[in-house]
Every structure is written in C-alpha cells, then in structure tokens.
Chains A and B, each alone.
Chain A
Amino acid sequence: MYKIVAKTRLFGNAAKMEILSPLVAKKAKPGQFIILRAKENSERIPLTIHDVNLDTGTVSIVYQVVGAGTMELDSLISGDSLCDFVGPLGMPTKTEGLKKVCVVGGGVGCAIAYPVARKLHEQGSEVHTIIGFRNKDFVFLESEFSNVSGLIRVMTDDGSYGRHGLVTDALKELLDEGHRYDEVIAIGPLVMMKFVSALTKKYEQKTTVSMNPIMVDGTGMCGGCRLTVNGEIKFACVDGPDFDGHQVDFDEVISRSRMYEDFEKRKREESCRLFKQEVK
C-alpha cells in the first residue's frame, strides 16, 4: 500500500497528491510517469511524475478528473492509501545540450511541463514558457514557471486572464519576433500538441511532444500504447512518452484514444451516481 501523505485541490476537477514511494522518488526523472490503481479492482491509470521529495520519499502527481478511474482516485483523501503504484516508467525527457528552449504547456499538461522547465533552468538553459488554460479559474503554477523562465506568456481561451488566445498564437508571435529555439517542448492535450507541431514544422523548430495513449501495463508487454512515428510502430510506455512531434501520426493517436468512448461514458455515469450517493 502506498500512502497519500497530502492532497491539494488545484482548481475545479484537478488536484495534486503526494504519495509515499521512496524507491520511485529516488529514481524519477522529469518526463517519466507512474501507473497507479486506486483500489483493489480499479483500472491502471498512468500519470506523469510532477515532482519528488527525496527527504520524505514522496512522489507528487497532478491529475484531472475525466472519467470513472480518475473519479475513484479523487475520492481518496490524505491519509488513505493507494493499492498499487509503480514506476518510474518511460524515458526521461532529454535536456542535455539544449541552450534555448520554449516550453509550451496546456491545462494539466503544465504540471508535467513544469519539472522539465525547472530542470532546463537549473542546467543554465534559457527558458521561454507559454502556458494556456481554459479560463482564469484553471490557471495554476504561474509563479513557479515564472521563477524558472526568462520570458512567460499566460494564455486563456476566453481572455479572462493573461492574454486572449491559444498557446499556438503566442508561440507564433515569439517565432515571428525572431526567437529561434534548440527545441520546443509541448505537453498538453493531443490536439494542442498536434497544432504546435504543425506550426513549428513551418518554422523548422525541432519539437518534442509527450504522448499519452491508452496504456495497460506500461512495461512494453501489451502493445496497447502503440503509435506510428515516422512510419514505424513505437510503444509509448517504453520508447516514449516523448517523441518528435513532426513524426507522430496525431490523427491516428487521437482516433485510438477514443476506442472505449462508449464504455467510458457509461462508467462515468455509474461513478457519478455512486460518488454522489457516498457524499450524501
């Protein structure tokens, strides 16, 4: 059992949990992920490692409730324990030798982008950050990103905070202003990463994206996380999750991520009923 030592609500349906797992904490590098099961008989859920604390042996994750599995996770509170917690999985994000980088984060993806930005800053790279959210209620990690970035743009879809627009608008502006990067690192919803990659391709800016296809084991055993990169089949859990955004077949990944839509919808409704009853 893996104890939840702290849980903090970030906004609406997103929260951060710190989980006791000294072995994972010791090994984790930015860009890697874990797989957890909230309870006996729960689904295996992959989540990126947001931060670690070597003194306390804890690993923090940030999740957004999207369906039954994350709802079940969200029903646990500080002091409860997770049934299973395995990691760190996947390859760490490559940061060596990068001198100037633009980190682009979207929504909860920012929680994953932050440790990468911090690592780049610590190794002396020049970091530009663009983070985007739905509206001002969803903005988080802004001051943390500011501390590690030479330049930061905060975007909201409706203009209720920061600038009005998408992260791609801000990125295009920076590129048009003449900024050139060794790499653009984009982490967020699939559609966002697809459009960032399309944009940077025009500007010939190398782009790394963090892919999150449906997974089961996370160790290369099932092949369920496969995607096509440069015409070849890759397993996101062992070869990734980072890939060259200009080579990923995004449309295929987006289509595959909807494979269980009907099942997920039914489960979500069941869980909504179940958890509402528990709350009452």
Chain B
Amino acid sequence: MARNLSNTKVEMPVQDPQVRAGNFQEVALGYTAEMAMEEAQRCLNCRHKPCMDGCPVRIDIPAFIAHIAEGEFEKAFLTLNRDSALPAVCGRVCPQETQCEQKCVRALKGESVAIGRLERFAADWYRNSACKVPPKPIPNGHKVAIVGAGPGGLTAAGELARLGYAVTVFEALHLPGGVLTYGIPEFRLPKDIVLAEVDALKRLGVEMMMNTVIGKTLTIDELLEMGFEAVFIASGAGLPRFMGIPGETLKGVYSANEYLTRINLMKAYEKDASTPIMRGRNVAVVGGGNVAMDAARCAKRLGAEEVSIVYRRSMKELPARQEEVHHAQEEGIIFRMLTNPVQILGDDKNWVKGLECVRMTLGEPDASGRRRPIEEKGSNYVLDADVVIIAIGTSSNPLIRITTPGLETDQWGGIKVEGESGKTSREKVYAGGDVVTGSATVILAMGAGKDAAKAIDEMIMGKKTDASDT
C-alpha cells in the first residue's frame, strides 16, 4: 500500500475561530473519508506497536488504522469497539499527546500519526452510516446495579449487558452521561453523541433510572437487598473545591461545576433557557486544566469581551489537553501565567468587581516533579472582573461514603479498591473511575468500568471465589 511520508498530520478542518467564539457548535469538524485514508497511510504498522503502550485500554491501534487505510471503516470501528465502548468520545477528548500519540514512532521526526482523529472518524462514520442494531443478548438470569451514568458506569453497564446480565444504572441527575453531559461543553463533545451511546445501551436492555441519588433515595445496602448481586460505584469526583480566599461568596463567583452545569446540563446558553447564567464582560477563570479551558471558552461564547486564565505555574505546566489550549488561544482567551489570586473584591452591592492577584516565580521541583511556584512579595495587582470562575479541582462526593458502613476510603475521600478488579472493602461492591482515582480522564474511567465488569462477572459466575482474592 502507498505510504504517506509527510511529517505532519493531515489537517482537520475546524470552524473559523472568529465565528466559533460566538456559537456552541462543534469546533473540530472531523476528517472526510479521503483525509482519513490519507492520514492512515502515515502509519508504519510497527511490529512492536509502541502506540498501544500509551493507550490505557490498549486499543489495537495499527490494526484499526490499517482498516481505515484500506477503506474498511466498519472493520476499523469494530476493532476499536473491542477495547473502547465510546470511541467517538475518546477520539475527541483523550489527551492523546501524553498517551497513544506520545509513543508513536513517527513523532520522533515530525508529528505522530493522528490516532485520535482517526478514532473519531471511524466512530462517527459507523454512527452515521452502519449502526447495526446489535442482537439482544441472551439473559443469564443475574442482576447488577451501577451507580452513576458517566463513562465509567456506562462502560461497565455495556460490558455486563452484552454478557447477558440484567443491568440497572442509577443516576442522580435527570440526564445520563456524567461529566460528558454536565461538564464538557457541546462545542467539544456534541451531546447527541453521548445520547446515541446511551440509546445503544438501552437497546441492549440496560435500564436507566434517572433522578435516583444513591445514599439518599436508596443506599448501597438496599440495592443488595433488592437482589442485585453486585454493585459498581462510578459516581465520579464531583465535589467542587474552593480556594479559601476572601470573597468567594460574592455574587458573580462560580465553581466551574456550577458554571458548566448551568450551561451544558441546563442549556443556559440558549436564548429562551429557563436557567439563568451571568454573562460577564470581564471573566477570570482560576486554574489550568481542561475544566478551566472549557469554562473560559464558554464565557467567551456567552459574549465576554475579555476572558483570562489565571494559573500559578507557567504555560509548560498547564495540565489541559494541548489542543484545548491551542483552540482557546485562537479564540482570544488571555493566558495570565505565574499569577495567583489572593482575594476576590466586591462592590457595595456584593457584586464581583475584581480579582486581586500576586505574581509568582518558579522555584525548585516539588514532590510532583513540577517546579514549585513561589510568591513575589509586593507584586499584587487587581484584575478587572465581573465574573470569577474557580476551576481548581474537585474531590469525591461524600453521600455514598457516609451511608455505606464498612466502605473504606482514603484520606481524600476516594473509595479504596484492590488492584484492577475495583473490588472494595465491602463484599459484592466494586468501584472505579474518578471516585477511586480523583479527577482523571474519560478513558481511565472507561478502563476501570471494563475491568470491574470482568471482575463482577468472574465473581458471580464463580470462576474465581472471593476467598482466593484476599
């Protein structure tokens, strides 16, 4: 087959930055079939498959790419689908530059193969053209409950349903998807994609119980009493952290979770939405991860004139995906690096009017290996802001922890599990995703869902007794 020897990826068409900064439609438009085949031909089909080592779920990358190069898109999708339940999602949101693409040999000289874009292409092609209804699995007579309809929970549900389990997913909010629905904005991950995945699960027979808060409406023990033979907890890490500086309860201060939930889940960006959102003129977003980028880009789309990312380290340490940083820059987001907020200032009616910041310099590397930011004494200055969004991280919600006796958690409130199985300190109770690891990635949550499904199946089928595990 013809090889494409170009040192750069085939460009993916995107909406013009000027135009897209005013709408919520998807930014990246995806490859056409021709572009995908051309890019696929850059893959050298390496025998040692180094790229696979960078993928947490070990997708057979050279195999799926070879199918694309041959124009066998359905085969490409089926190869992806063996290891990833949501390739249309991962192709869009995985931090590829630190995972699969980082290990690609083509990155030694030039750019890596565009693995993520190709993954997205195959998944979109399948959703739009083939989309065969899978045969309904034969019921095996066993029942499993899943807590949380985010990527971790949905993956476990799919795996178990395909094995014939009667699966019920319990979700606190009124829509499924977890962060994919309430956190990541439409312009980065269209909600139709998430809904299509959920519909596919429903066709497999998965029951979705919305509006059910485990720990409140029902407890884990009650689920077990109801006859569920195992419970998988994938409730995420949704508890927002605040900075503990003065002014955090002023009007116009949001946690990123609240800001994004109002916009994504409650559609506050639509003209006649019933949920309000403050449309600031000068918006300051504190933090440097994907969450901060999403909040900043939403603020821009809601009409802000100036949106700043305020981050205490430098561009190099920004934890967000490269593509998001790049897109944010193109859209005119201002990056105020080596800057740390010390207080939020309000006017006489308690509306935010500014963010007092101090400049930082980078010192010696700390335990995480990143250079520690140190305050420059007396460098305080005030950044004009009428909306401040705090995106400095989340921890896990305590509702399940405090209502499940015997469920062990770590010092941050994350549920403790044994190795990859996701087995917790409680018999028949498994956990995975952000509720175990703290905020991580979609693909890791999916991997955990898959591993736990396997462990649950082994436990119920008695392939492995509990005794041999401990």
Residues on B with beta carbons closer than 8 Å to the beta carbon of A256: 249, 251, 350
* Stretch of B69-77, B109-117, B211-219, B317-325 contacting A (4+ beta carbons < 8 Å): B211-219
The reply on B47 being an interface residue by CB < 8 A is no
Interface residues on B, range: 35 or more
Indicate if A191 sits at the interface (CB-CB under 8 A): no
A80 within 8 Å of B (CB atoms): no
Q: Is B398 an interface residue (CB 8 A)?
A: yes
Q: Determine if B397 is an interface residue (Cβ-Cβ < 8 Å).
A: yes
Is B211 within 8 A of A86, CB to CB? yes
Contacts known (A24-B217, A86-B174); A221 close to B262, Cβ less than 8 A: no
Among A84, A216, A226, A264, contact of B211 (Cβ-Cβ < 8 Å) = A84
| In the complex, chain A residues whose CB is within 8 Å of the CB of B172 | 86, 217, 219, 221
Given known A217-B172, A226-B249, A252-B249, contact A86–B278 (CB-CB < 8 A): no
Nearest Cβ on chain A to B48's Cβ, whole angstroms:
43
Q: Is A159 an interface residue (CB 8 A)?
A: no
Q: Smallest CB-CB separation from A224: which chain B residue?
A: B258
Smallest CB–CB gap between B345 and chain A, Å? 15
* A217–B249 CA distance with the chains assembled, in angstroms: 18
Smallest beta-carbon distance A232→chain B, Å: 10
- Cβ of B239 within 8 Å of any chain A Cβ, yes or no, is yes
Establish whether residues B240 and A222, one from each chain, have CB atoms under 8 Å apart when the complex forms.
yes
Inter-chain contact B274/A42, CB cutoff 8 Å: yes
Chain B residues within 8 Å of A23, by CB: 212, 217-218
Asked if B397 contacts A223 (CB within 8 A), the reply is no
Contact call B212/A222, Cβ cutoff below 8 A: no
Whether the pair B266, A44 counts as a contact (CB closer than 8 A) is yes
Contact mask for chain B residues 392-407; partner A; CB cutoff 8 A; 1 contact, 0 none: 0000011100000000
On chain A, the residues within 8 Å of B13 by CB distance are none
Q: Are A221 and B239 within 8 A (Cβ)?
A: yes
Q: Which residues of chain B from 225 to 259 have a CB within 8 Å of any chain A CB?
A: 238-240, 242, 248-249, 251-252, 254-255, 257-258
Query: Size class of A's contact patch?
Result: 35 or more
* B258 adjacent to A223 (CB under 8 Å): yes
Task: Let me know if B274 and A233 touch, CB within 8 A.
Answer: no
User: Which of B174, B212, B255, B398 is close to A223, meaning CB atoms less than 8 Å apart?
Assistant: B255
* Closest chain B residue, CB of each to CB of A267: B274
Q: Given A43-B266, A260-B276, check contact A221 B240 (CB 8 Å).
A: yes
Q: Are B278 and A233 in contact (CB under 8 A)?
A: no
Partner of B174, one of A84, A221, A227, A260: A84
Residues of A within 8 A of B257 (CB): 221-223
B238 proximity list for chain A (CB < 8 A): 219-221
Contact residues in A for B212 (Cβ distance below 8 Å):
23, 86
> Which residues of chain B have C-beta atoms less than 8 A from A43's C-beta?
266, 274-275
From B251, B255, B267, give the contact of A41 (CB < 8 A). Answer: B267
Q: How far is the CB of A75 from chain B (nearest CB, A)?
A: 13
Expressed in whole angstroms, the Cα–Cα distance for A233 and B173 within the complex equals 24
* Residue from B173, B242, B273 having most chain A Cβ neighbours under 10 A: B173
Taking CB atoms, residues of chain B closer than 8 Å to A233 are 242, 248-249
Which residues of B have CB within 8 Å of A219? Answer: 172, 213, 216, 238, 397, 399
A226-B174 Cα distance, complex, nearest whole Å: 22
Known: A23-B218, A84-B174, A223-B258. A68 touches B274 (CB 8 A): yes
Contact flag A263-B276 (CB < 8 Å), given A27-B217, A86-B172, A238-B399? yes
The reply to whether B251 and A220 contact each other, CB–CB distance below 8 Å, is: no
Answer whether A84 and B276 are a contact pair too, CB < 8 Å, given A221-B240, A224-B258, A255-B251.
no
A88 touches B216 (CB 8 A): yes
Q: Closest CB of chain B to A32's CB: distance in Å?
A: 9
Inter-chain contact B174/A259, CB cutoff 8 Å = no
A266 → chain B closest CB, angstroms: 10
B217:A259 contact, CB within 8 angstroms? no
Let me know if B276 and A86 touch, CB within 8 A.
no
B460, CB-defined interface residue at 8 Å: no
| A85 partner residues in chain B, CB cutoff 8 A | 211
Q: What's the Cα separation between A226 and B251 when bound, in Å?
A: 11
Contacting B at CB under 8 A, from A60-119, are: 68-69, 72, 83-89
- Tell me which residues from 208 to 237 in chain A have a Cβ below 8 Å from any Cβ of chain B: 216-217, 219-224, 226-228, 233
**Nearest neighbor of A264 in chain B, beta-carbon distance:** B276
Chain B nearest Cβ from A66, distance in angstroms: 14
Closest A residue, CB atoms, query B267? A41
CB of B398 within 8 A of CB of A220, answer: yes
Query: Taking each of A44, A83, A219, A227, which has the highest tally of chain B beta carbons within 10 Å of its own beta carbon?
Result: A219
Q: Kindly state whether residue B380 has any CB partner on chain A within 8 Å.
A: no
Check A37 for interface membership: any CB of B closer than 8 A.
yes
With contact pairs A89-B216, A256-B251 given, residues A221 and B397 touching in the complex (Cβ less than 8 Å)? yes
Q: Cβ of B266 and Cβ of A216 under 8 Å apart? A: yes
Instruction: Give residues of chain A (159-211) contacting chain B, Cβ–Cβ below 8 Å.
Output: none
Q: How far is the CA of A221 from the CA of B240 in the complex (A)?
A: 6
Task: Report the separation of the CA atoms of residues A267 and B275 in the bound assembly, to the nearest whole angstrom.
Answer: 10
Which B residues lie within 8 Å of A216 (CB)?
A: 258, 261-262, 266, 275
Interface presence of B210 (CB below 8 A): yes
CB < 8 Å neighbour of A84 from B210, B217, B252, B397: B210
Contact between A69 and B216 (Cβ–Cβ < 8 Å)? Answer: no
Residues of A contacting B316 with CB < 8 Å?
none
Q: A88, A238, A252: which contacts B217 (Cβ < 8 A)?
A: A88
B349 in the interface, Cβ–Cβ < 8 Å? yes
Q: Tell me, in angstroms, the Cα distance from A228 to B257 when the chains sit together.
A: 19
Are A252 and B350 in contact, with the CB atoms below 8 A?
A: yes
CB distance from A107 to the nearest CB of B (A): 24
CB-CB < 8 A to A69: which residues of B?
274
B241 closest partner in A (C-beta): A223
Q: Which of B174, B216, B399 contacts A87 (CB 8 A)?
A: B216
Q: Is the CB of A220 within 8 A of B239?
A: yes
> With the chains together, A255 CA to B399 CA distance in Å?
29
Q: Which residues of B contact A264 (CB under 8 A)?
A: 276
- Chain B residues with CB under 8 Å of A258's CB are 251
A85 to B212, CA, bound (A): 9
Q: Can you spell out 18 A-B residue pairs with CB atoms less than 8 angstroms apart? A: A27-B217, A37-B174, A44-B174, A44-B275, A68-B274, A86-B172, A86-B212, A217-B172, A217-B173, A219-B216, A219-B238, A220-B238, A221-B397, A222-B261, A228-B249, A233-B249, A256-B251, A260-B276
The 9 closest A-B pairs by CB, nearest first: A222-B258, A86-B211, A263-B276, A223-B255, A260-B276, A221-B238, A43-B274, A223-B240, A224-B258
Interface residues of B (CB under 8 A from A): 172-174, 182, 210-213, 216-218, 238-240, 242, 248-249, 251-252, 254-255, 257-258, 261-262, 266-267, 273-276, 278, 349-350, 397-399
A residues contacting B by CB (< 8 A) are 23-24, 27, 37, 41-44, 68-69, 72, 83-89, 216-217, 219-224, 226-228, 233, 238, 252, 255-256, 258-260, 263-264, 267
